[in-house]
Structure formats: C-alpha cells, structure tokens
Structure 1
Amino acid sequence: MTSADQPSIPLSEHPAFLLGQLGFHVTHRFAAMLAPLGISPRHFGMLRLLSANDGQSQRQLCAVLSIHRNVMVGLVDELEKHGLVERRKHPTDRRAHAVHLLAAGHKVVAEAEEIVKSLDAEVLWSLDVDQRATLTRLLQQTSVGSGLTPGVHPGIRPAHRD
C-alpha cells in the first residue's frame, strides 16, 4: 500500500494545524480589540515590558525582545508619537536613552490587560478551570520546547533576522 492509497488525516486531527488556526483567529481578534486604544499587539508587548522594566535603555529592551535596534527605534518612535512613552537621557550611560512609560501609557496597559482577560474568556469559554490550567501548562511547555522566549511574542520582530 502506497501513501497515495492511505486515507488522508483530516486537518482537524493535526495539532499544528489547530494551533495555527486558533493563533490566526486570536491574533486578528486581539488586534481588532486593541484598535480602539490606538495600539497594535506589538505596541502592547512593548508597553507591557516597559510597565515591568520602566527606564531601561533601548539596548536593554532590544536584548529582552531579541529585536534589532532599528526595529526598537521605530517602535519607540510610534509609542512616543501616541504620547505613551518618552525617551530620556540614561542616568548612567550618556550615550544611551532610557525609555519611560508615561501616565497615558500606564492607562493603556491597564485597559489592554482587561482586553486580554476578555479575549481569554472568549476563546476558552468551553473549557473549565482545570482544563484551562492544563492547556496553559501544555502551551507553555510547547513554546519553550520550540525555542520561544516566554512572554515575548515573535511577531514583535520582523520575519527575517537582521
């Protein structure tokens, strides 16, 4: 019997397909939910990072996010234009700029966090609390096993490596 003679497995039986299907849906849904705040998912990722690491240099932020400095400059420029962050002289490195989250940025982060909770509830409504916890643990394990940095969305950087 050749592979052509074997019945094909439905795509809905392939975990990678299901993750891709759900990932596509969640990505677009999240972007649509953030749009009224005037930010995109990549902006949210950066703002969230700053809310936990305010005042870091652009170089330090690049290292955490594994992005090229040119990508960081553009991202900070966009957030500055929206009045969410500002660059200040770094207190210990005169060649560097520290990035600080402004009051408006803190407000947007808080609003976006509520959107994340709402999206989680929307997507996972059919699972009970234990199933949600199990799914989260399995996805964390799979993400780390795939070489992804915990808490950093790979979409924040360009598709190609600089």
Structure 2
Amino acid sequence: MTGGVARPRARSVQGRGQRTGALGSGVEPALGGATPSTAEVPTDEGDFAQHEAAAASFAFLIHDVARQFRQIFDQRVRALGVTRPQWRALLNIARREGITQSELADLLEVERISLCRMVDRLSDVSLVERRADPHDRRVWRLHLTPKARAIVAQLNEIGAGVEGEAMWALTAAEQTMLRETLDRIRVQLELQRREIAPL
C-alpha cells in the first residue's frame, strides 16, 4: 500500500480478506501511503516543505477516518443507552480490569474530577464497581459488573461490524500490512512522546 491510496478495484466476495477485528483491538483505522521505511527523506527546503505538507495530510487523514468510525459507532450504540464518554470508559475498563480512576482519566484525556463524576453515574446504574486497592486504601480500582460485561459484548459486536464494513475493500494481506504499518508508526510516536515528556 505504498504510493498513496490504492485505486478501487473490482473483487469478488471470495477474493476479499476475511473481515477481522473489533472495537478495542488496539488498531486505529487509517489510509495507506508511504510507510516510514519507503518515504523519501527531504534534501532541501522545497522538499522539506512538501514532506511536511504530506505528513500533515496523512495525520489529518488518520484523524478523519477515526472521526468517521466514532460517528458511525455512536449512531449504532444509541439503542444501548450509553453515551460516547461512557462507552469509552467501559471499553477501557474492560481492557484493563482493575484500572485506577486516575489512570482511566489519563487514558480518556479528561480531568480527574470529570472522570469521578462519570464513574459515579456508571456506579449508580450498576455498571461499574469501585474496589479499594489491597495495598493502598486511598486508591480506588474499577471493575465491571456482569450487567456492564453484557453491554461491552454488544459494543464489541457493533465495533466489529463497523470495522468489517470499513475494511471490506481490502484483502487479508492488505489488512495485515495496514495494521503492521500503523503499529510501527504508533510505536515511533510513543517513543517521541516519551522523549519530550517532562521529567
């Protein structure tokens, strides 16, 4: 998938890759383009400006695809009676059972007081339980209730459907390449983030 977005091509149902993945798989959707290993290194000011513009377009494209995923997902989960902040919290707790409130706030990029109020509401409707940390009674750890697990199962099913429809035009090999490329980019960005993080 190098050299920009691949041109659509006719393909039989049997020729397509198996629809895989589910919401919460850890893979963010994006479009193809030059991978870090094949991208040209800028050699002068003009090349550098062009390279920066391409990078900005790629970042925007990833953001826009993710935005559309969220919007479609939101439309389909309304019947479950959970808001976007709530389903994001439930899915993150499901992935990291026993996570602390402060850790969840950091993952969701919300203020801790806002997260506390959200957990209060989820607790009031018997979706989340707060349990004291056995080693530090000042720390609360979050766990899903059986009722919440049933909702998370439905969220994952809906997410798998949205992802499957989005990946419909890609073969299994193309899906694998896309996931591997995005994972490499994610690792690189994480390394950069840690380098500039304050001590």
CA distance change for structure 1 residues 17 and 63 in 2, over 3 Å: closer, same or farther?
Answer: closer
1:97 alignment counterpart: 140
SS in 2 for 1:83: coil
1:135 alignment counterpart: 178
The code of the aligned residue for 1:71 comes to: S
Q: Distance in 2 between matches of 1:36 and 1:138?
A: 35
2:100 alignment counterpart: 57
Report the Cα offset of residue 21 of structure 1.
3.2
Task: Name the count of aligned residue pairs.
Answer: 137
Q: Distance in 2 between matches of 1:65 and 1:23?
A: 15
Q: Distance in 2 between matches of 1:109 and 1:49?
A: 10
Could you tell me which runs of 5 or more consecutive residues in structure 2 were left unpaired when the two chains were aligned. Answer: 1-45, 47-53, 192-199
Q: Which has the larger radius of gyration?
A: 2
- Selected match of 1:114 from 134, 139, 157: 157
Q: Answer whether contact 2:127 2:145 (CA < 8 A) is retained.
A: yes
Report the Cα offset of residue 64 of structure 1.
5.3
| Residue pairs, 1:66-105, within 5 angstroms | 67-105=110-148
- Selected match of 1:44 from 81, 87, 92: 87
SS in 2 for 1:146: helix
CA RMSD in angstroms comes to 2.8
Q: Answer whether contact 1:30 1:41 (CA < 8 A) is retained.
A: no
Could you tell me which runs of 5 or more consecutive residues in structure 1 were left unpaired when the two chains were aligned. Answer: 4-10, 149-162
Deviation by residue 1:35-75 (Cα, 9 ceiling, x = unmatched): 22222343333222322433343234345556542132133
SS in 2 for 1:94: strand
Report the Cα offset of residue 93 of structure 1.
2.3
Q: Which has the higher contact order (CA 8 A, sep 6+)?
A: 2
Q: Percent identity?
A: 27
Alignment TM-score, normalising by the size of structure 2: 0.57
SS in 1 for 2:123: helix
CA distance change for structure 1 residues 40 and 134 in 2, over 3 Å: closer, same or farther?
Answer: farther
Q: Answer whether contact 2:88 2:108 (CA < 8 A) is retained.
A: no
